[in-house]
Structure 1
Amino acid sequence: MFTLQISYPVRDYEAWKKVFDTDPAGRAASGARSVRVYRDTEDRNSVAVLLDFDTKDVATAFLDRLRSQVWDKPEVIGQLMAAAPSGRILEEVAREGQGAG
């Protein structure tokens, strides 16, 4: 399993979430098996999104689509982001506890 971890420094969480929910990069059709959204407990405008994919290639393709179709648009970055988002792909190598399989 491969997880795309994205950090979003947003200006306004509610405004960002409205756009996120429209799925502008097509995560629903991209092969994402699950999507989890987290907010920092002290900085409520610091958001982390984790998307799980079966392969590194599919995760990489989705990250590339995000960069070219969403993050590179000044109207998105300027209005919704306090700084540029960042993403990285993680490979699961071990799991313990609840949900381990």
Structure 2
Amino acid sequence: MITLHIENTIADYDAWKAAFDRYDRARRDHHVLAYRISRPVDDPATVHIDLDFDTREDATTFAQVLEKIWQTPLSAAVSSTHAAPELRTLEEATA
């Protein structure tokens, strides 16, 4: 399994989550199998999002979609910085 791990600094969680939810169809259309949202207990202005994919190709394609989304006015409105979110591609480790 491949996971896109995103770390983002946000201005308001409720506004950010509403914006995130608007892209549910895009996640489905780009083969996101599941996602998790978490927040550090001592930093409510940060969100971590993990998006799971079957293949690296699907993850890479969706990362390109995210880059375009992050340039939209809606994305800028819910971000508390002008920097793009941090994005990492992770591969599940085997024992």
Please give the TM-score of this superposition, normalised by the length of structure 1.
Answer: 0.84
Q: Report Cα offsets for 1:50-99 as digits up to 9, x if no partner.
A: 0110110100100101102x1112x134311112212111011126xxxx
What is the RMSD computed on CA atoms of the aligned residues?
A: 1.6
Kept after mapping to 2: 8 A contact 1:25/1:66: no
- Report the residue type matching 1:82 in the other structure: S
The answer to whether the 8 A contact 2:7-2:46 is kept is yes
Q: Give the number of the structure whose alpha-carbon radius of gyration is greater.
A: 1
Indicate the residue corresponding to 2:39 in structure 1.
Answer: 39
Percent sequence identity over aligned pairs:
34
Aligned partners of 2:19 and 2:74 also within 8 Å: no
Q: Any residues of structure 2 matched to 1:51-70 within 5 Å, and which?
A: 51-68=51-68, 70=69
CA distance 1:2–1:41, change in 2 (3 Å) = same
Unaligned runs of 5+ in 2: none
Aligned structure 1 segments of 4 or more residues deviating by more than 6 angstroms: none
TM-score norm. by structure 2 comes to: 0.89
Q: Is this contact kept in 2: 1:25–1:65, CA < 8 A?
A: no
Q: Which deviations, in whole Å up to 9, do the C-alpha atoms of 1:16-46 show, x marking residues without a partner?
A: 0011111167012211111100011111120
Q: Paired residue for 2:80?
A: 82
- Size of the aligned set, in residue pairs, is 93
Cα deviation, residue 8, structure 1: 1.3
Amino acid at match of 2:56: K
Q: Is 2:71 the counterpart of 1:72?
A: yes
